Structure 1
Amino acid sequence: MSGALTFIEPTEEHAELMLGWRTRPDIAGQMLTKVPYDVERQKAWLRRCAERDDYVHRILCVDGVPAGHVSITVTEPEWRIATFGVLMGERAGRMGAAPLNFAYMLNHVFFAMGLRKVVNHILGTNSPRLLKGQPMIGYRPVGVLKRQVVKDGQEVDLHIFEMLAEDWLAVRDRFRVYQDMDGREWK
């Protein structure tokens, strides 16, 4: 196993796999939204996603095997701002080179999509390593919205991080990843 990362566009054939990841308790507890286990509804969502011009998503594969789902949502088209979603459904998605998925995503958002900023919202119940790692990637901590999200009756902090295109240009050589999610090189 080399740990090589590739990204493929999700199709309806991936609906059950993605839904299985998304509804697993350890993953669902870290997500902002809750979804029911309904394969037909998931397929309909995938069809709607394929028609959107403000949403890009891929299945992250490690050595050709699906390991997670990543997404870019344009939240402010006029201001050219997006947010990321990352879900690692398999252990391979959390090991080796797979955590470098952000580099492919940042190259995609800033070069392929021509956006200027990424703003991410991360639940405080996520791994402390995830939260501490954001500044090491190049994100600036914006702040914490205390008790912002209510999940299953529990109030949860929401951490906000941002990165401008020039911030990514200043740090991307550290990671030595110059491809976007579609395999295009951006040197």
Structure 2
Amino acid sequence: MIEVQEQFGMLRPIKDSELELMLSWRNAPAVRENMYTTHEISLAEHRAWWERAESSDRQRYFMYEFQGQPLGIVGFTDLDRENRNSSWAFYASPNAPKGTGSRMEILALDYAFNEFGLHKLCCEVLGFNTPVIKLHEKFGFKVEGILRDQYHREGTFIDIYRLGLLASEWTEVRNVMITKLSRISKG
């Protein structure tokens, strides 16, 4: 796991001094567009959410850092230690370099299955966000269901893709993904 961190970055606790940076990324139009909550979040609303998140044992959020620079957020929600599953999501800084999402995903999956000891990791993606659905599938996620017309936004109903990945499936594709990303990083 250490060699992966050295090559792809690291997940670390979010500092209170980074809450405004985190909020600026979350409020970026390209990020909001792909979230359930699309309004511009106020600092007070963000701080109240952060206080609830930090006090919950069912949520964990991390800053993604690459080459000493904070570049994104990885969050685990609905952590169920008894059933060993969780949901997760991530978003990157609008100025993050190409490949940031893939580097974040490798670290998040390693964290989920090695640190949390999860059996299964899930996520939901709005149906129009095809690049993220395909990204997750590259990492071994399977589409477990499509919730048709599940989400309503601005007069339109949107499908929600529910994806899942088992620890054993991550083990099967992990080294292949690390090798692929290593080549891309060097090239």
- TM-score tier by shorter-chain length is 0.7 to 0.9
Identical-pair percentage:
24
> Quick check: which one's helix share is greater?
2
Give the corresponding residue for 2:124: 121
Give the corresponding residue for 1:156: 158
Q: Which residues in structure 2 correspond to 1:103-182 (within 5 Å)?
A: 103-126=106-129, 128-176=130-178
- Is contact 1:139-1:161 (8 Å) kept? yes
Q: Distance in 2 between matches of 1:134 and 1:7?
A: 18
Which structure 1 residue ranges, 5 or more long, are not aligned? 178-187
Q: Which residues in structure 2 correspond to 1:1-187 (within 5 Å)?
A: 4-34=8-38, 36-92=40-96, 95-96=98-99, 98-126=101-129, 128-176=130-178
SS of 2:178 mapped into structure 1: coil
Cα distance change of structure 1 residues 4 and 76 upon mapping to structure 2, 3 Å threshold:
closer
Q: Distance in 1 between matches of 2:141 and 2:147?
A: 17
Number of residues of Structure 1 aligned to a counterpart in Structure 2: 174
> How far off its partner does 1:105 sit?
0.9
Q: Distance in 2 between matches of 1:170 and 1:73?
A: 24
The range that moved more, 59-68 or 73-82, is 73-82
SS of 1:91 mapped into structure 2: coil
TM-score, normalised to structure 1, is 0.82
Query: Deviation string for 1:64-100 (max 9, x for gaps)?
Result: 22211111113544322111111112332x5145522
Cα distance change of structure 1 residues 97 and 37 upon mapping to structure 2, 3 Å threshold:
closer
The range that moved more, 30-39 or 64-73, is 30-39
TM-score, normalised to structure 2, is 0.82
Give the corresponding residue for 2:3: none
> How far off its partner does 1:44 sit?
2.8
The range that moved more, 96-105 or 162-171, is 96-105
Which structure 2 residue ranges, 5 or more long, are not aligned? 1-5, 180-187
Letter paired with 1:157:
D
> How far off its partner does 1:133 sit?
2.7
Give the corresponding residue for 1:183: none
